Amino acid sequence: MKQIAPVILIMFLFSCHSVTTPVLAKDSTTISIVATEDQEMNAAISTARQSLSKFDSALASHNPRYTFFALKVRFPYGNDNGEHIWLNEITKSNGAYSGIINNNPEYITQIKLGDTVAIDNAAITDWMFLDNAVLKGGYTTRLLRNRMTGPERQAFDSANFYKIED
């Protein structure tokens, strides 16, 4: 299984917080808690959804420069909560996507790392692929990266095998 690392996991929680709150997950990775009212994050999700055709075109092109196709999908839990999880090894057939869970869910119990799942198109909250190791898409990841302190961003960038162009 090809993994995209490090993965920033986003969970939208019903809360009054308007900032990103980093927390340590059960598996010791850092996850970000983001309020459902976060206007910047909602705008990033909207941009991703509106530009999904770019992802589709790249996926269908079979261009060898394009690698590591992934979709971020919201899995609901509890009252008004959702955990946003990256899926990789994306395929699309008859307009329907499927992919493999690429990070350990923190709150969702019906899926686990490595599971293959059908993707509800309405639940897609971001997309990404690499073009010669340069990130395309990844709007929510870019936003969270922009919210990091200088040292956090430097550590994030050095841990990645892809480049994020501003």
What is the DSSP annotation of 38-87?
Answer: -HHHHHHHHHHHHTHHHHHHHHHHT-TTEEEEEEEEEEEETTTEEEEEEE
Averaged pLDDT of the chain: 85
Residue 143 lies in a domain: yes
Q: Residue 6, preceding bond cis, omega within 30 degrees? A: yes
Q: What is the pLDDT of residues 100-112, one digit of tens each?
A: 999 889 888 999 9
Give the pLDDT band (50/70/90) at residue 5: very low
**Quick check: is 51 in a domain?**
yes
pLDDT digits (tens, 9 = 90+) for 56-81: 999 999 999 999 999 999 999 888 88
Answering whether pTM is above 0.75, one says: yes
Domain count of the chain? Answer: 1
Q: Is 165 within a domain? A: no
Are the beta carbons of 107 and 77 closer than 8 angstroms? yes
Q: Give the range of the structural domain holding residue 57, as residue numbers without chain letter.
A: 9-159
- 81 closest CA partner among 110, 107, 46: 107
Residue 130 lies in a domain: yes
Are 129 and 70 within 8 A, CB to CB? yes
Say if 56 falls within a structural domain: yes
- Average pLDDT for residues 42-59, to the nearest whole number? 97
What is the average per-residue pLDDT within 26-48?
Answer: 82
Residue 164 belongs to some domain of the structure = no
Query: Domain for residue 3, yes or no?
Result: no
Residue 2 lies in a domain: no
Report d(CA 155, CA 123) in Å as an integer.
30
